Structures are given as C-alpha cells and as structure tokens.
Structure 1
Amino acid sequence: MKNNFYLCAALSVILLMHSVVSIFSGDVNNFGRLYLDTIGFSPFGLYLAWAVKLIHLFSALLIWSDRYVKPVSICNMFILMLGIYFIHWQNGWYVVGGGTNGIEFNILLICCFLQLIFNGKRGSGSS
C-alpha cells in the first residue's frame, strides 16, 4: 500500500469534485467571466478559470496514480494561495460556523499538499 493512501484519496476526491462539478454545471465559465474578468483579469478570466479547473482535474488523476506529486502539489498550493488572496481572505477564517467562505479549508488543503511534498518516500516522477 502506498504512503499517504487516505490523504491522496481525499485530495483526489476533493480536486475531482471541485473541478468536475463546476465544469459540468457551467460555473467555471461564470467564475471566469463574472468574477475573474471583473477583478482585473479580463480578457483572460475565462481561460484562467478553465486552467485552474483542468489543473485540479489532472492533479487528481496524477496524485491517485502517484506521479508528479511534488509539482502537482506546488501548482495546487499556488492556486489555493491565490484563492485565499483574491476570494477568501476578506471573509475571514471560517468556511462555515463563525463565518462563510473563509480561508480555513484552503489552509488545510495547503497543509495536506505540504505533507505530500515533504514525505521523502514519494517521488516527483513515476512510482
């Protein structure tokens, strides 16, 4: 059994759900056009939104297959940090409970990706 099986499984499911659902619902288009474009990323907001969702989608598959875990983790941590800066910071810490749409979930995911990076038994290439 590979190291961090449950962590990899959870991250893969979270990344799949975060990408696949918004792709099929069309929310990725709305996020690009109605949010990213309006905060200064126009005319590239739609492309950035799709890039993020596709990175999440392929990251889930690569994490699950135990390939390129370190670069995938770095890319996702960068996305999560940008999410904190542009979206979640203004809402405080809590995702639910003491507030809404805060940074706590992003911080947890960043820590999970850090665990994958600094676990010396996982390679950055193939297994």
Structure 2
Amino acid sequence: MGLLGAKAPPERAERALDVLRVTVALLILIHGLFRLVAGGITPFGVWLESQGFPLGFGWALAVTLFELVGPVLMLARRWTSFAALGHAAILTLGMILVHLPFGWFVVGAGRNGIEYSVILIVSLLTIAWAYWPMRRSAA
C-alpha cells in the first residue's frame, strides 16, 4: 500500500488525539482565565445584553465558568464529549455574532474573520466524536 493509503498505527493516532485534546483544552482554559483575571465578565455581559440576550451578566458568567471547568474535564478525560460539544456550541454562537461579519480571514486578506473559530469547532467536534461513549452491546 502506498503512502497515501497507509493508516496511522492506533497508538500514534491515540497520541495525536491526545495532543489535539490537550492543546484545545488549554487554549479554551487560557481564554476563560484571561476574561476572569482581566475583569472581562461584566463587559462581556453588557455586550451580550446589547445583542439582545437577557441577563447578560449571568450568561457571561456561565460561559466563563464553562471555559474554566470544561477544559479541566477534557484534560482529565472526564465528560470529554459533553465539554467539547458545549465549547463547540459557545464558539459557534461567538463565531456568528462576532466573527462572521468580518468574513473568513483572521489576518492577511481580512481581519477578525471566522477561520480560527472554524478550526477550533472542527477540533472540538472531532474530540467529542472520538470520546463519545461506546454503547454496550446486548449480549
């Protein structure tokens, strides 16, 4: 079989998935920690209310807490699919509200676009899929 048709050994594929899971979890954790430490929860809540979300501060606090707890769960391989799907949902909403009006590119041919959000969302969906609990077969 040629190089293009070769499959990665299971151990290597598992380690690659670990690298993806840990990297994405740390990126999200840093995002939430920065908002918390920099006093960004209240401004985030005010912005959410300006976008028509009731109880903006409550939503901002909930998102921030999820950005702190969810990555820890992902790092510990506990409730990994739940955490990844939750983050994918949060990022999808953020992508639509914040980044989509700026187009595709984050830098270069544009600014503040959706491309970074897309790769994070696809990564999170991949992690959720890989860690989805197996059904027990009826034997």
| Superposition TM-score, scaled by structure 2 size | 0.79
Kindly provide the CA deviation profile for residues 17-55 of structure 1, in whole angstroms up to 9, marking residues without a partner as x.
11001111012211111x11111114x111111111111
1:58 partner amino acid: V
Quick check: 1:47 aligned with 2:53? no
2:111 is matched with: 100
8 Å CA contact retained: 1:69, 1:117: yes
Kindly provide the CA deviation profile for residues 71-104 of structure 1, in whole angstroms up to 9, marking residues without a partner as x.
1111111111111111111011112222222111
Bigger relative contact order, structure 1 or 2, given CA contacts below 8 A and separation 6+? 1
Quick check: 1:18 aligned with 2:17? no
1:88 is matched with: 99
**In structure 1, distance between residues paired with 2:69 and 2:37:** 16
> Per the alignment, in what secondary structure is the counterpart of residue 11 of structure 1?
helix
Structure 2 residue runs of 5 or longer lacking an equivalent are 1-10, 134-139
What is the alpha-carbon root mean square deviation over aligned residues? Answer: 1.8
1:64 is matched with: 75
Quick check: 1:30 aligned with 2:43? yes
| Superposition TM-score, scaled by structure 1 size | 0.86
**In structure 2, distance between residues paired with 1:53 and 1:94:** 26
**In structure 2, distance between residues paired with 1:89 and 1:30:** 21
Deviation at 1:123, TM superposition (A): 5.0
1:70 partner amino acid: S
1:111 is matched with: 122
Q: Percent identity?
A: 29
Which runs of at least 4 in structure 1 moved beyond 3 Å after TM superposition? none
Structure 1 residue runs of 5 or longer lacking an equivalent are none
> Per the alignment, in what secondary structure is the counterpart of residue 102 of structure 1?
coil
